[in-house]
Amino acid sequence: MPSHRGKLSLTETNRRFYERLWSEAQLVEPQRFNTWPLVSELAARARRMLEVAPGLRPRLPLDRAQFVDISRAAMTRFRSRGAAASVGIIHALPFADGAFDFVCSFDIVEHVDDDETAFAELARVAAPGAALLLSVPLHASAWTPFDDFVGHRRRYEPNDLADKLARHGFAIERSAVFGMQPKSSRLLDLGMWFLTHQRERAMWWYNRVFMPLGLRMQKPLQWKQGFHDEPGIDTTLLICRKQG
C-alpha cells in the first residue's frame, strides 16, 4: 500500500523535486514524443489549448498553447521560448470557465491530495466538446518506492478512474498503454539507491543519458476504443471528451 504523507509535506516534496529536476534539465520539444501524431490531430481542431504541469516535457505546441506549472524554473524556460506560461497549481487554474477546446495533463492528478478538486478544475476550464488528454498510473498493487520518492499519492484502479471522470463530465473515448512495470525490480532498486544517496549524479544521468535514450526507444502508441486494461500496465493514456 502507498505510504501516505502529510498534505504540506507532499506539496513541498513535489515542488522541491520538480524545481530541482527542471532547473537542471533541457526542454524537450513536443514533436519528439510518441504522443505528437495524436496531439497534432487534436490540436488541428482546437483554437484554445492548455497543458497543466508540463515540466520541461511539453506535449502541446509551444507557439499555440497556454502552459501552467508549479515549477518557476520550467515556466521561465517556456517564456524564454516565447510560450504563454504561468506559475500555478492544478487546484486553482487561473483561467475562465470553458476557456479551452483541448486540455492536456500528464502524470499530475496522482500527485495531489485532493484529486476531486483537480478533476473539477480540469472540467471547469474545458469547454463542452473539449478533448482531455490524461495520463495516470494504474493499480495500487504496482506501488513501488519510486512512487513515494516522486510524491505520488495514489495509483488508480481502472473502474474507479472511469467513474471519477464520468462524475466530472468526461467520457473516455480511447486509451493506450503508456508504460509497463518492469518484470525485475533490480533496475528500479538501483535507480532508487542513486536518487537517494547520489542525487546529483542520478539527475545528471537521467537528464543526459536515460531521457534521450528513452526518446529514441519510444514505440508508436496503440490505441483501443474505450478504457483498455490488462495485467502489467503501469500507466494509461486516455482521450476523453467533455460532455455538453
Q: Please give the pLDDT value at position 5.
A: 43
Q: Please give the pLDDT value at position 124.
A: 98
Indicate the number of domains in the chain.
Answer: 1
Decide the pairing of beta strands 126-137 and 170-180: unpaired
Q: What is the CATH number of the domain that holds 13?
A: 3.40.50.150
Rounded distance, CA 43 to CA 49, Å? 8
Q: Please give the pLDDT value at position 195.
A: 61
Amino acid 72 reads R
Q: Please give the pLDDT value at position 116.
A: 97
Average pLDDT of the chain to the nearest whole number: 85
- At 34-87, the pLDDT tens digits run 999 999 999 999 999 999 999 999 999 999 999 999 899 899 999 999 999 999
Rounded distance, CA 101 to CA 132, Å? 9
Residue 80: domain span: 7-181+221-242
In a domain, 188, yes or no: no
In a domain, 190, yes or no: no
Asked if the model's pLDDT at residue 211 lies above 90, the reply is: no
Rounded distance, CA 186 to CA 144, Å? 12
In a domain, 205, yes or no: no
Give the range among 90-94, 165-169, 178-182, 230-234 with minimum mean pLDDT: 178-182
Helix (H, G, I), strand (E, B) or coil at 188: helix
Rounded distance, CA 33 to CA 131, Å? 19
CB 40 within 8 A of CB 49: no
